[in-house]
Amino acid sequence: GAGVSQSPSNKVTEKGKDVELRCDPISGHTALYWYRQSLGQGLEFLIYFQGNSAPDKSGLPSDRFSAERTGGSVSTLTIQRTQQEDSAVYLCASSLARPGNIGGYTFGSGTRLTVV
């Protein structure tokens, strides 16, 4: 597609429920990243996929968070047993970058998650 597409744009869920957030990167972009941004805060790195390499999961805050990327394209971020502190905007980005040749990211419009 023309840009990075994320769905849903907004999600309200009850504490303890599981949620899935979807990201469809720009066609041909080999790198895909998930960040989250809490109100008034900076971007917190969560996970990074590069081609067929093992993902960099170093930013996932707990084992309730997981992500996968199928076929080198669409990615799903899953949060199990959601907590109120998970409320944030979850941003997906993609880039053409290869290791040692980094370029800038293109971000999607984000998913605003509210846990009540």
Partner 1 sequence: QKEVEQNSGPLSVPEGAIASLNCTYSDRGSQSFFWYRQYSGKSPELIMSIYSNGDKEDGRFTAQLNKASQYVSLLIRDSQPSDSATYLCAVNYGGATNKLIFGTGTLLAVQP
Positions that interact with partner 1 (CB under 8 A):
31, 33, 35, 41-43, 45, 48, 50, 56, 91, 95, 97-100, 102-110
Distances (CA, A) of 115 to 15, 79, 109: 6, 11, 19
Nearest to partner 1 of 32, 79 (CB atom):
32
Shortest gap between Cβ of 45 and partner 1 (angstroms)?
6
Nearest to partner 1 of 14, 99 (CB atom):
99
Nearest to partner 1 of 80, 107 (CB atom):
107
Distances (CA, A) of 109 to 6, 7, 68: 7, 9, 20
Instruction: Measure the CA–CA gap between 76 and 24, rounded to whole angstroms.
Output: 9
